[in-house]
Structure 1
Amino acid sequence: MKLLDIGEVSERSGVAPSALRYYEDLGLITSCGRNGLRRQFGPEVLLQLSLITLGKAAGFALKDIAGMFGEGGRPELPRDQLHARADALEAQIHELTTLRDALRHVADCPAPSHLDCPKFQKLLRAGSLTAEV
């Protein structure tokens, strides 16, 4: 098995060496040893880093991501948590889409004043731009 130097892992994964050291401190990844002062990793670390990056992008905390790795760093993805996060993302997408549409309406409203616009007044009464437009 060819070991990868921390610099090579950083370059290939796009993860800064400081983050690699932090992930190792948290137990998310494990180095196999050192070559001088430089940490060495097995090639499996690249898959682990891809999963960590994906988990972070999906909004999982690092401690939650740490629980998604089993023996030897093999992924053990909790399907129920993945479904729950996907549902939360879907709700967030809906809220953001509604907010986008409301902002576009307010920006493009032909009324002389936004206060003369019935849809804008409805938004104000609702107390939130995420209300139905």
Structure 2
Amino acid sequence: MSKTTLNTLAALLLMTGAVMSSHAADLKLLIDDTTSVIPTDVTYRVSPEGLEVKGWVAKRQPHTGRMLGHVEIKLLDEAGSVLAQKDTYMVHYSPTRANPQKASFSTLVPDVPSGTAAIEVAHRVGQAAAGR
């Protein structure tokens, strides 16, 4: 390849990275705090692999018992319509899996639809939907 072609490719890669980073800074993070287990310390970042979302879920009120369910992550447009959804399971229960007060989660959404304006994170009881 010629030097001009390589310089053009390098410039395109830098511009793509800048656009992805600025788009990530523009996303709103919406936390559903209406359930007894709520997402906390949620962070996200755009990487070459996709959108990485991670954080913790914690019991609103300390009580005994297991923490069942999964974390539901939805990518929304400006109007609030769901563009994509990904469910993930909780790991790293603390202090123990039998009686945790919190647990962590982490997932990757490989394909972020254009028009994504917000990330909604919620804890849901029940099994995660297949294929998500």
Give the alignment's TM-score, normalised by structure 1.
Answer: 0.26
Q: Which has the higher strand share?
A: 2
| Higher alpha-carbon Rg | 1
Give the alignment's TM-score, normalised by structure 2.
Answer: 0.26
